A and B are shown apart, each in its own frame.
Chain A
Amino acid sequence: MATGPPRPPGGRAHTDDSRAQTTLDFAIGVSLFLSVMLFVFAFVPGILQPFELSGEQDTVLSERIASDLSQGTLGDPSEPYVLETHCTVAFFDEGSPSPSRCDYEGSTIQERLTVEDHRNVNVSLRGTLSGADADLLCWDATSQRIVERGSGDCNPDAGDDDRLLTGGETPPQSNDATVSSRRVVGIQQTNVTMRVVVW
């Protein structure tokens, strides 16, 4: 075996350039580590994203509001899901003070539902009273009866205090972060659907 250059024990002849770890090894090592690091940093936010919690309590809030309105505030707790006409119509009359006899206070929907003022809520009554498809309902003051918006006798802006039975801001169509709860309730001898949207 040809002997290479003599290897003195502990001799200084080990210059650093003979480290046997070529720059290539180092390059592989670090690049591998960096690539894994990049992968992890790219991947982790991905798994976190669906759990970026925002507005989780809206689901429970809309259920609470819907149950409270349909089983107590707009009617009588001893007769759940049946609304009393006068208080229901007055509930949607924003701006004027609540009638003392009814089970809510304040003049805006937020105050009447005891939620913070910045909270976006919309409450509306829909139903199919005549014809085939459901429509927003309206209080016709002349006949003291609840009618569909499409029927002739509902003219909310005609001065006689007809009124559309919807309160709060209009829910955004595109925004998907809204939560809505529905209850079927009875009013004036018929069934309508109360819809509460929170976003």
Chain B
Amino acid sequence: MADLRPRDERGQILLIAAFTLAVIFVALALVINSAIFTENLASQGEVAGSSEALTYQDQVRQSVAEAMAYANRYDESSLGASVDTIGGQSSSQQARGGRVIDVSLVSTTDGTRIADNASGGSAFRSSGGLSDWNLADGVERTRNVVVTTRHSDLPTSGTPFRLRANETGTPTNVWTMSVWEDSDDVVVRVNTADGDVSECRVAVAGAGTFQIDVTDGVIAGERCHALTRDGTAGTPMWFATGIPSGSTYDIEIANGDAIGGNYSMVVSPRGSWNATTLTTGSATGTPYRTDAIYEATVDYAFRTSQVTYETEIEVTPGEAP
């Protein structure tokens, strides 16, 4: 037999094994690297500033609402200047954070502010002294209806104070809010135009004045579900629910003598106030009306390197949905 190649030519198998293992480990290193990157990617939060676009829009909405309240109370023409100042200061503040903010007033809708803010409060009578009277006719929208009163000024359950909104032309279609006091609880009952009744009872401590925010459904800081959601089906309801959205309604007060304090609301359109029962100047003790801004439309833009968000927001503070 021929002499085969001697044993030493075994072909360095060990080296090849080591080499293959080496290749495998390097490939594995690549995989580990992307695994680590996956974990890094997983722990990244949202895109920088993406949720701030909406929170900042909410802040702009509230700032413009503050400016509108000021304009309606003191100087109606000041809204434009206020919004520009808010826009200027906001963008300089946010520029530091790499955000570009742009706020500008586009348009306003006129309305009328009806109020009786005699100091120390007075009965809710008309300027002519009527206890049951009409405040406004043909109203399309109402916002920020607030009644400020005290326990001592509230009627007992006998003849509660009533605020009504009935559909123009068909008075039977009426939304009524009745307020009275029952052993230290403020009770509010709402009868909507489509026949639903719901009631809420809020215990208000102390003898001081407190606010019943009718459109927001809050009494002295406590939520009153009767004003924001009817008891049975749980569907939401608000001032003048049940009156078809197309038609207008009249606002009336019944039994105004029974309650004392102040109230104010803003209605639109501007001419809907009742000239016989409301005065124009804010003479003490008598309900009056002044021109007011019902709604402001504002252009809002929020930009960062990754987010672009431009919208037009309508600011109507205190308007139920």
| B35 adjacent to A53 (CB under 8 Å) | yes
| A99 is an interface residue with CB less than 8 A from chain B | yes
A48 touches B28 (CB 8 A): yes
Measured CA separation A188–B228 after assembly (Å): 12
A33–B234 CA distance with the chains assembled, in angstroms: 77
* Contact pattern, B 37-56, Cβ under 8 Å of A = 1, otherwise 0: 01100110110000100110
30 sample A-B contacts, Cβ–Cβ < 8 Å, listed by A number = A16-B7, A29-B14, A33-B14, A37-B21, A40-B21, A44-B25, A47-B32, A48-B32, A51-B35, A53-B39, A56-B38, A56-B42, A59-B42, A60-B42, A67-B51, A71-B54, A78-B61, A78-B313, A80-B51, A80-B54, A80-B55, A81-B55, A85-B223, A85-B229, A86-B234, A86-B236, A101-B235, A144-B225, A188-B223, A189-B222
Q: Which residues does chain B contribute within 8 Å of A19, judged by CB atoms? A: 8
* Residue B58 at the chain A interface, CB threshold 8 Å: yes
CA distance A86 to B235 in the complex (A): 9
Give 1 or 0 for each of A48-89: 1 = CB within 8 Å of chain B CB.
100101001101100100010001000001111100011000
Q: A169-188 interface mask toward B, CB cutoff 8 Å, 1 = contact, 0 = none?
A: 00000000000000000001
Number of interface residues of A (CB under 8 A): 33
- Min CB distance B15 to A, Å, is 10
Give per-residue flags for A80-107: 1 if the beta carbon is below 8 A from chain B beta carbons, else 0.
1100011000100000000101000000
- Give the residues in chain A near B43, CB-CB below 8 Å: 59
A51-B32 CB under 8 A given contacts A57-B42, A144-B200, A189-B222: yes
CA distance A63 to B50 in the complex (A): 14
Taking the closest CB of chain A, its distance from the CB of B298, in whole angstroms, is: 13
For chain B, residues 27 to 78, give those with C-beta under 8 angstroms from any C-beta of chain A: 28, 32, 35-36, 38-39, 42-43, 45-46, 51, 54-55, 57-58, 61
Please pick, from A53, A85, A189, the residue contacting B218 in the complex, using a CB distance under 8 A. A189
Q: Is B98 an interface residue (CB 8 A)?
A: no
Q: Which chain B positions have C-beta within 8 A of A67?
A: 46, 51
Residues of B within 8 A of A85 (CB): 223, 225, 229
Alpha-carbon distance A16/B36, docked complex (angstroms): 54
Tell me if B200 and A78 are in contact (CB < 8 A).
Answer: no
**Which residues from chain B contact A59 at a C-beta distance below 8 Å?**
42-43
C-alpha gap A164/B89 in the complex (Å): 45
